[in-house]
Structure 1
Amino acid sequence: MSRPNQSGSAAPASVEKIRDAALRLLAARGAAATSLREVADAAGVSIGLVQHHFGTKAGLIEAVDAYVVDVVRNTLNPPPGTAPDPDSVNGVGSRVTAMIADHTDVVDYMSRALMDNTPIGARIFDALFAIGDARWQRRAEQGQIAEGLDRTWAALNPILLSLGALILRPHLERHLPEPFTTRTQLARWEDAVNTLIRQGQLRPES
């Protein structure tokens, strides 16, 4: 497995700069249409430095993939040792909107990976499902879910609501007064999704 070469005190900053430039370009164009030279130009470094840290284009993409997976997991999972959300629907919703607002490039990359049906897209989707499935299992054990609820679709539907909004964002924004990723519109969307989940998948008292 390729690993970025981070020797030298300036290495971490240059690695992050290159990785972030690659993240933006890969999200916008896809892997096939993005070259190492374009990444170097976008990062303001030499192509030699890109190769020094990442070796090959595949090594750079591997580093970007690992970063994206880490951001998704660390943002959507509550920090270890924290108390359970008093309102699990609101807690999850706030973490999802925080990821969209604070990590827009990651969200764009994730959307591209899913649309292109890449291995990292499948890995991200499966990770999202695992997180959601565990959450709905806990809700079922606590007697919170609606009677007769299909547990598999209980985990899948919130993913569809989230990923669908991200992938269809340009179309959604034709019907919104400002970009979807503004705090105001994200709050509207979060409230609407939370209402659908509460009224469709949870017991009324939950």
Structure 2
Amino acid sequence: MRGVAAAAGVTVGLVQHHFKTKDGLRVAVEQLVVDYYALAIAAVPDVGTPAEIASRRDESVRRMLETHPSVVNYIRRTVLDPRGSGRLLERLTELSRSEVAKLREAGLASTNRPESTQIIGLMVRQFGTLLLQPMIDEMWGYLTQKGGSSDGKPTLSVTVG
């Protein structure tokens, strides 16, 4: 809480007054992350084929994450830390479930596959790059140091079938 207060330029007492506990602060941060995702998804009109809508939504989320690197860092730490006690992954999965259900009801998403498969596919598409790109960047750095290829640095693209 002290680090948060220092970064915000306020007293620890003010942070404690507003959020009460570290858990309260974490819940507020997680809600902000979920809100960013929801706004990115809502920015895409539900027009076109299911594949076009999914692609535009994925792109909107990608742009949101590019614009908010602190969100990317928070998600990486939270999702990859086995000691994490937060519920961010559950909350983002629930947001995805809700959106998939809406699209299915509107006839804008296939009902030929189980809803759970669509939700997991969506999460893997959006999180795959987010979580694996640092590993690719590290490998690329190592290979270029060792005189590897001078081709452009690769980026990860995840497709779930």
- State if a TM-score over 0.5 links the two structures: yes
Question: 1:158 aligned to 122, 137, 158, which one?
Answer: 122
Hey, what does 1:118 align to over in structure 2?
86
TM-score scaled to structure 1, two decimals? 0.55
Hey, what does 1:132 align to over in structure 2?
100
Count of residue pairs the alignment pairs up: 146
What is the aligned-residue identity percentage? 25
Runs of 4+ deviating beyond 6 Å? none
Q: Deviations over 1:17-58 (max 9, x none)?
A: xxxxxxxxxxxxxxxxxxx11222222322233234333333
- Measured at CA, do residues 84 and 138 of structure 1 come closer, stay the same or move farther in structure 2, by a change above 3 Å? farther
Query: Higher RCO, 1 or 2 (CA under 8 Å, sep at least 6)?
Result: 1
TM-superposed CA distance for 1:73, in Å, is: 1.1
Question: What RMSD over aligned residues (CA atoms) do the two structures have, in Å?
Answer: 3.4
Opposite residue 43 of structure 2, the aligned amino acid is P
Matches within 5 A, 1:83-122: 84-85=47-48, 87-115=52-80, 116=84, 118-122=86-90
- Measured at CA, do residues 127 and 113 of structure 1 come closer, stay the same or move farther in structure 2, by a change above 3 Å? farther
Q: Which runs of 5+ in 2 are unaligned?
A: 142-151
Hey, what does 2:148 align to over in structure 1?
none
2:47 and 2:153 map into 1 onto residues whose CA distance is 27
Matches within 5 A, 1:1-206: 36-78=1-43, 82=45, 84-85=47-48, 87-115=52-80, 116=84, 118-135=86-103, 137=104, 141=107, 145=110, 149-175=113-139, 189=156, 192-193=157-158, 196=159, 200=161
TM-score scaled to structure 2, two decimals? 0.67
